[in-house]
Chain A
Amino acid sequence: MLAGWVLVLASFAYLGILFAIAWVADSRADQGRSLIANPTVYALSLAVYCTTWTFYGSVGRAAATGIGFLPIYLGPTLMMALGWFVIHKIIRVVKANRITSIADFVASRYGKSQLLGGLVTVIAVVGVIPYIALQLKAVSNSFTILAAAPEIIMPARAAAVPLLQDSALYVAIIMAAFTILFGTRHLDATERHEGMVAAIAFESVVKLCAFLAVGLFVTYGLYDGVGDIFARARELPNLERLLTTADTAAGYGSWAALTFLSLLSVLLLPRQFQIAVVENVNEAHLRRAVWLFPLYLFLINLFVLPIALGGLLHFGVGGGVDADTFVLTLPMANQSEGLALLAYIGGLSAATGMVIVETIALSTMVCNDLVMPLLLRWGWLRLKARSDLSGLLLEIRRWAIVVILMLGYLYFRLAGEAYALVSIGLISFAAVAQFAPAVIGGLYWKGATRAGALAALLAGFSVWTYTLLLPSFAKSGWLPADFMKVGLFGVELLRPQQLFGLTGLDEISHCLLWSLLANIGAYIGFSLARAPDAREARQAGLFVDALRVEDAGSSWRGRIAAGGTAEQVMELLALAGRFLGPDKARAAFERHARTRGASLAEMTADADLVHFAESQLAGAIGSASARVMVASVVEEEPLGLDEVMNILDEASQVRAYSVELEQKSQELTRATAELRAANEQLRELDRMKDDFMSTVTHELRTPLTSIRAFSEMLHEDPDIGVEDRMRFLGIIVGETERLSRLINQILDLAKLESGRADWTSGEVDLGQVILEAAEALSQLYKDKGVALTLELAEPLPTVLADRDRLMQVMINLLSNAVKFVPAETGRVKVGAGATAIDVRVSVADNGPGIRPEDREVIFEKFRQGGQDVLTDKPQGTGLGLPISRQIIEYFGGSLWLENAEAGGANFVFTLPLPPGDN
């Protein structure tokens, strides 16, 4: 069977593979061909969420509570649905501000507060230690069990084993060494670890495959499918209860609480924050993670209940085999060593993944937010010294990793045995849930202040310690047990797990309720106690508006005191060099100078450069420490609250302006179009005026020419006979009359058009006007032999109009008609009738008619039917119809042309009746 040394060899071989993957990914990253710039790798790396808790613990949980293991995976599924809102925004903030951990995030949000960063770090370390202990316990147990094969022997209580024989200690030491090799080989200004992410993604595949393999083996190898297992379980009375859940309010309450807790943890656990946010290469990768990560969780949970029931059926309830070990012991009990080894490797990968990322994230926090601020405060880092401190940073992180793992081991020795794996993990979940108000509130509420966040974290952490952490020690016997029973100082109301007499909740729900109540209460209360100061308001603006504000940078900085000299550039460079390494810092500064289009020597320490230097430093030592360090070199005039408010106002004003501007430009476009149309119309009118002028002058010149010609003939030739003389004079008189008529009409039209005509308005009997007009022209009609018939309805109502003008219209229409009808056979018919609203008059002839396309043309000036203006001999002035139309329209009627029945033209006009007169 599997000897111990085989297991050790297999473990190291597996770790070697991980290391090789990380090495390849790192070197690929250095060549710019990133292995992890892939959404699937990102989604898989998120599955670092599934630790030995999932791998071994879920089965144990399922064996005890049935579906009770599931809320831990439903919560993250729900969180990923919200991820497109929340995680997206956090990633944006983190990228813009070069934030390297959740402690840095909280510190930065509340005015780059070192105190806050330190507090978050302490809570994270203390809170996560039980979780690390869980991994150590799982790995050492699985090793011990597998090494003892083929017999299945549960490991003895750790406390009973001498320290140096405890395999968990060696697991802790090896993991510390491995993590140090893995995560702290060099210092990266952005705290990104490409190699680590690639290895984690690989581990996610390994643990999923291992678990599915065991699941398939149990379900289809040992039993006859899922239905078979459930059917057998249903026969045993004490297994049947696992198929449903406790149908009580407390049962559902605890279910909801666990869902909520895991929902928060998947974002707030330091390792989840590290992987999901800090190590994110591209925001767009979130798109696939939103569904692929929940799908991963779904798959890894599919066989949990079958394995749990299979184990209980096989070993019996309370049969001496811990349900947390079923994944390993079921293959062992059925002589499948290969599968058992695979399960062991799966468990190892689940544990190493968690420990590596968690301790790297924590060590960064401890270094940047705890140790550095303390060293700064104690003056250990003499700032004027020029030594390279990047080595010191790495050293601090390495020690932090060792200390964290040893603390994890200590917790395992002290308290680990009293709990199942899942219960230990839940203690950690409840601890990191305390970050939720400060982190999520800080993303959406500008009014939250440093005091609020500090109070919230302190209150929540205190309640957590009292209601969850201390009881875990008490249950292990490291604190007096009556602490649990009679409460602090013997006050029963202070019993840690029935605080203020609240009973009926499980310990996690109980802790979550009281701690979040205290947490959120303090957060809101202390935040509202006073308005945010300048720095808080500035950071709040950067965080809350992260998705709207593109430039998160230098416009926020105060003016540089003392001018900002080139000397200060060198000091900043030296400062960055001490933490990043001189060569890296110089390269980064030179790159920055190039983007500004200058060489490093030409740069001055302006706000932009100071911002750049500080964000470079922030990547290495955290934003709060970076602020202090930069301030020691470059003195900035602090921004007053007014100035920050101005910048905030400007930002919102700029947004408002841009909206307004867009509206204005649309209005402008519309106005331009209108103007263009108006301009077009004006040009048209101008052209028409030119046409009119040239036509008028032409019309005037025609009679003038003939008058002049005949006058000259009379003048130059005295011998013209009397008869000719009379004829010439007759022509001259006729042309003169025509000329004066033309001029009168032009004047008339000009008056009408300009609205300066003299109008009189009175009741006019239209029938009378028609009769008079016919009378006046009767001679003309007789001369040409044209028959004029009148068909007037009797009586015609009176209309309101100018009698003389109406007469002018009638005479114009009648004389037009007689002009165009043939002599002797011509017939003109005038009709008139009334409707309820108007009077209609028509003048129809049997002349040649007007071509349809000319029907509107004839109402234009100087245009006559059937001919162009300049050809043919005009038979009229070409102004009569335009004038008539103007007159009729003036009185509210209209004048138009129809086809006459006899084939000629039929001019029709209507005039409205005065209102109230029928």
Chain B
Amino acid sequence: MYRSRLTAQRLAALFLLGCVLFNYPVLALFNRAASVLGVPVLYAWIFAAWLALIAVMAFVIEKRRD
């Protein structure tokens, strides 16, 4: 029970982190006409952060409960 509450809290924290990563002003930092490996930075940032967030969510919730 305690552990599952901890998981829920971690996911809630990730929710808040996601809200910050995908909104003003963090978003504005990448809103410029530059590119990373040919991809515009804004586009690269959102997809990279998105994938990272999903990975951490998967790690948090699928971690062995032992």
CA distance A71 to B24 in the complex (A): 13
Q: If the complex has contacts A74-B50, A255-B23, are A290 and B61 also in contact, measured as CB distance less than 8 A?
A: yes
Contact A74 B18 (CB under 8 A): yes
Decide if A80 is an interface residue (CB 8 Å cutoff): yes
Contact B40 A243 (CB under 8 A): yes
Which residues in chain A, 220-238, are within 8 Å of chain B measured between CB atoms? 225-228, 230-231, 234
CA distance A302 to B7 in the complex (A): 29
- Contact pick for B8, options A85, A259, A294, A302, CB 8 Å: A85
* B11 → chain A closest CB, angstroms: 5
Decide if A702 is an interface residue (CB 8 Å cutoff): no
Interface of A is mostly: helix
Contact A77 B18 (CB under 8 A): yes
With a cutoff of 8 Å between Cβ atoms, the chain A residues found around residue B47 in the complex are 298, 302
With a cutoff of 8 Å between Cβ atoms, the chain B residues found around residue A234 in the complex are 33, 35
With a cutoff of 8 Å between Cβ atoms, the chain A residues found around residue B18 in the complex are 74, 77-78, 81
Which residues in chain A, 169-228, are within 8 Å of chain B measured between CB atoms? 225-228
CA distance A226 to B31 in the complex (A): 19
Contact A245 B31 (CB under 8 A): yes
Contact with B along A83-98 (1 / 0, CB 8 A): 1110000000000000
Contact A84 B11 (CB under 8 A): yes
CA distance A243 to B44 in the complex (A): 10
* Residue among A74, A77, A81 with most chain B CB within 10 A: A81
Contact B54 A77 (CB under 8 A): yes
* B62 → chain A closest CB, angstroms: 7
CA distance A225 to B39 in the complex (A): 10
- Contact pick for B53, options A77, A83, A252, CB 8 Å: A77
Contact B15 A78 (CB under 8 A): yes
CA distance A678 to B18 in the complex (A): 60
Contact with A along B7-24 (1 / 0, CB 8 A): 110011011001100111
* A888 → chain B closest CB, angstroms: 57
Contact A245 B50 (CB under 8 A): no
Shortest Cβ distance from B25 into A: residue: A252
Contact with A along B45-66 (1 / 0, CB 8 A): 0110011011101100110000
Interface of B is mostly: helix
CA distance A302 to B51 in the complex (A): 11
Contact A84 B39 (CB under 8 A): no
Contact A291 B39 (CB under 8 A): no
Contact A287 B42 (CB under 8 A): no
* A63 → chain B closest CB, angstroms: 14
Shortest Cβ distance from A289 into B: residue: B61
- Contact pick for A294, options B7, B22, B46, B54, CB 8 Å: B54
Contact B39 A230 (CB under 8 A): yes
Shortest Cβ distance from B8 into A: residue: A84
Decide if A595 is an interface residue (CB 8 Å cutoff): no
Contact with B along A509-532 (1 / 0, CB 8 A): 000000000000000000000000
With a cutoff of 8 Å between Cβ atoms, the chain B residues found around residue A226 in the complex are 38-39
Which residues in chain A, 821-852, are within 8 Å of chain B measured between CB atoms? none
With a cutoff of 8 Å between Cβ atoms, the chain B residues found around residue A290 in the complex are 11, 57-58, 61
CA distance A614 to B32 in the complex (A): 61
Shortest Cβ distance from B62 into A: residue: A287
Decide if A857 is an interface residue (CB 8 Å cutoff): no
Contact B33 A82 (CB under 8 A): no
Q: If the complex has contacts A67-B43, A259-B22, are A294 and B37 also in contact, measured as CB distance less than 8 A?
A: no
Shortest Cβ distance from A290 into B: residue: B61
Q: Ordered nearest first, which 8 A-B pairs have the shortest CB separation?
A: A227-B38, A291-B58, A252-B24, A81-B15, A243-B40, A291-B57, A78-B18, A81-B14
New A-B contacts (19) at CB < 8 Å, excluding given A74-B18, A85-B11 = A74-B46, A78-B18, A81-B11, A81-B14, A82-B12, A82-B15, A85-B8, A227-B37, A234-B33, A234-B35, A243-B42, A244-B33, A287-B61, A290-B61, A291-B57, A294-B50, A294-B54, A295-B58, A298-B54
A interface, CB within 8 angstroms of B: 67, 70-71, 74, 77-78, 80-85, 225-228, 230-231, 234, 240, 243-245, 247, 252, 255-256, 259, 287-288, 290-292, 294-295, 298, 302, 305
A-B pairs with beta carbons under 8 Å apart, 15 shown: A67-B46, A77-B50, A78-B15, A85-B11, A227-B37, A227-B38, A228-B38, A230-B38, A243-B35, A255-B24, A256-B23, A256-B24, A291-B58, A291-B62, A295-B58
